[in-house]
Amino acid sequence: MYIVQIASECAPVIKAGGLGDVVYGLSRELELRGHTIEIILPKYDCMRYDQIWGLHEAYQDLYVPWFDGAIHCTVFCGWVHGQLCFFIEPHSEDHFFDRGCYYGCVDDYLRFAFFSKAALEFLLKSGKRPDILHCHDWQTGLAPVMLYEMYKYQGMENIRVCYTIHNFKHQGIAGTNILWATGLNRESYYFEYDRLRDNFNPFGLNFMKGGIVYSNFVTTVSPNHAWEAHYGEFGYGLGHTLELHQHKFGGVLNGIDYKVWNPEVDRFIPEQYTPETLEGKEKNKKALRERLWLSHEDKPLVCYIGRLDDQKGVHLVHHAIYYALHRQAQFVLLGSATEPGINSWFWHEKNFLNDNPDCHLELGFNEELSHLIYAAADIIVVPSNYEPCGLTQMIGLKYGAVPVVRGVGGLVNTVFDRDYDQYHTPEERNGYVFNQTDEPALESAMDRAIGLWNYYPDEFEKLRIQGMSYDYSWKQPGTDYLAIYEFIRHK
Ligand code: ADP
């Protein structure tokens, strides 16, 4: 099959979170199975150019209709760790992708509506006719709309669309000027509740809703989250739309790329190790402690890696730091906050804990350090309020860091705690789960994990090894996505 992915991220060249990992990991898996994959991305000024090989101009004069004119673009092409990627660079006074950031601009909805349009225009003009277009999150939600309503009539009628939602909270709500900008001119037709009009904001046009309505198949990133979004609060207002389109909606658990996330081959860690050579993990712990000036006492090391925002349960993350210290454990946090209040809160904590030999808070984004932390940690906490899939617990498992997670979203599909869950055997246990969102719930799960490390080290090691033996690679998700592609191709 010939598959084109349109996305706003692809790791490691453009990565703000799990979306980037998924776009890269899924592409690699599909290519290994003999399919042809191309990825279309914006050409941000701040992306990691050092991660692109052979970047060159692939298409010089792409004119993308926009409002009542057109924006001149150049399309570049290069390989990101073996994956063929196209980068769209618009030349206009808007400087859509020259902002020094990926997201967070007031005109984000214009930037990504333009990107979606430019990606389709590139396919059209360059004669590319993939079997499958795989779009991701709100940023590309308008691509299936424009494909079906406009580009289909220009020779692109055989392309089928799979649309994956990584986070329902960010849906891309805009004014109707977007219709005018993209050439979807009949406002009375598109701005209806069964098409693009937001279910709750009568003046808002919803990109993600457009993606759901117009795609041939819609997935979210874990089976449990598919249920939560459809029937619970985590659809953030799109539950009714999912209900209407339930015949083409499902959950596919994300995988992780074991070429990138694997302590046996990881080039970012000083000592590689396997479940049979766990003493290597001790050496990484020592290396991390040296790097962060932590004490070398015999203590468990608890970590948190991830964005610091409401979704991730920041209050519990904060509490986990102090509770770990109270239980004589060490805590390392690597995280970044886009919300100014949370950012200054954690900077305050960082300064307050600066001289504590058992704690380090690293605020910012640091891919390389994240590998060392996974390799060094004994326990990883993921106390999310909601979690569509969650990659950090799966990466933690592979590196022998026992996860302590809240039982929500994809965490339920990946972490199994025998004490609460009669469906899994003791051999299937791989971590600790708590359900409530309050501090005592987190404490009780952390207690059990830290207690096992302290008093039953052999049992702890057994649990670690059990976790490391889980296969959360792209093998199964790759098969699932191919089955979806085949299904929509022949429908
Ligand atoms: P998200 O909701 O952000 O997508 P996921 O758990 O799905 O959360 O994916 C997070 C990914 O981003 C993981 O690969 C994690 O290691 C990485 N990550 C998150 N925050 C940071 C950070 N501050 N520095 C380095 N990597 C990070």
pLDDT tens digit sequence for 250-298: 999 999 999 999 999 999 999 999 999 999 999 999 999 999 999 999 9
- Pairing mode, if any, of strands 379-382 and 205-206? unpaired
Tokens linked to 361: 């808070």
Average pLDDT value for residue range 416-420: 77
Does the pLDDT value for residue 88 go beyond 70?
Answer: yes
Tens-digit pLDDT profile for residues 212-221:
999 999 999 9
Tokens linked to 323: 């509770």
Paired residues of 91 in beta bridges: 72
The answer to whether position 261 is within a domain reads no
Together in a domain, 141 and 251? yes
Count of structural domains within the chain: 2
Whether pTM > 0.90 for this model: the answer is: yes
Give the range of the structural domain holding residue 108, as residue numbers without chain letter: 2-256+475-489
How many angstroms does the Cα of residue 307 sit away from the middle of ligand 1?
6
Per DSSP, the residues of 270-322 read SS---TT-THHHHHHHHHHHHHHT---SS--EEEEEEE-SGGGTHHHHHHHHH
Nearest one of 382, 397, 356 to 446, comparing CA atoms: 382
Tens-digit pLDDT profile for residues 234-252:
999 999 999 999 999 999 9
Together in a domain, 326 and 428? yes
Instruction: Please give the number of the atom of ligand 1 that sits closest to the Cα of 166.
Output: 4
- Identify the helix (H) or strand (E) that includes residue 121: helix 108-126
Average pLDDT value for residue range 194-217: 97
How many angstroms does the Cα of residue 88 sit away from the middle of ligand 1?
25
CA-closest residue to ligand 1 atom 20: 306
Residues of the binding site for ADP-alpha-D-glucose: 15
Express as a percent the part of the chain with pLDDT over 90. 97
How many angstroms does the Cα of residue 382 sit away from the middle of ligand 1?
11
Pocket test of ligand 1: the residue of 260, 392, 397 to mutate, having most ligand atoms within 8 Å of its CB, is: 392
Average pLDDT value for residue range 454-483: 97
Together in a domain, 330 and 252? no
Q: How confident is the model at residue 426 (pLDDT cuts 50, 70, 90)?
A: confident
Tens-digit pLDDT profile for residues 39-60:
999 999 999 999 999 999 999 9
**64, 91 Cβ separation under 8 angstroms:** no
The pLDDT score that the predictor gives to residue 317 is 98
The answer to whether position 6 is within a domain reads yes
The pLDDT score that the predictor gives to residue 424 is 78
Together in a domain, 457 and 308? yes
Would you call 298 exposed, middle or buried from its count of C-beta atoms within 10 A (0-12, 13-18, 19+)?
exposed
Together in a domain, 406 and 463? yes
Exposure class string for 315-346: b at 16+ Cβ within 10 A, else e: bbbbbbbebbbebebbbbbbbbbeeeebbebb
Tens-digit pLDDT profile for residues 157-181:
999 999 999 999 999 999 999 999 9
Residue 432 backbone phi and psi in degrees, to 5: -125, 140
Does the pLDDT value for residue 386 go beyond 90?
Answer: yes
Nearest one of 182, 109, 111 to 148, comparing CA atoms: 182
How many angstroms does the Cα of residue 48 sit away from the middle of ligand 1?
16
The answer to whether position 81 is within a domain reads yes
CA-closest residue to ligand 1 atom 19: 306
Q: How confident is the model at residue 316 (pLDDT cuts 50, 70, 90)?
A: very high
Does the pLDDT value for residue 420 go beyond 70?
Answer: no
Together in a domain, 142 and 46? yes
The answer to whether position 262 is within a domain reads no
The answer to whether position 191 is within a domain reads yes
Tens-digit pLDDT profile for residues 6-24:
999 999 999 998 899 999 9
Together in a domain, 250 and 363? no
Average pLDDT value for residue range 410-426: 83
The answer to whether position 154 is within a domain reads yes
Looking up tokens 């409401």 gives 310
The rounded mean pLDDT for the chain is 97
Contacts of 375 (CB under 8 A, 6+ apart): 263, 266, 269, 271, 273, 281, 284, 288, 399
CB within 6 Å of ligand 1 — which residues?
17-19, 21, 305-307, 334-336, 365-367, 370, 389-392
Does the pLDDT value for residue 433 go beyond 90?
Answer: yes
Residue type present at position 21: D
Together in a domain, 242 and 335? no
Nearest one of 161, 221, 168, 163 to 199, comparing CA atoms: 168
Together in a domain, 210 and 290? no
Does the pLDDT value for residue 419 go beyond 70?
Answer: no
Tokens linked to 443: 């404490």
Together in a domain, 481 and 454? no
Together in a domain, 167 and 301? no
Together in a domain, 381 and 483? no
In angstroms, the CA 487 to CA 482 distance is: 8
The answer to whether position 274 is within a domain reads no
The pLDDT score that the predictor gives to residue 149 is 98
Number of H helices, E strands in the chain: 17, 17
CATH number of the structural domain spanning residue 230: 3.40.50.2000
Paired residues of 230 in beta bridges: none
The answer to whether position 324 is within a domain reads yes
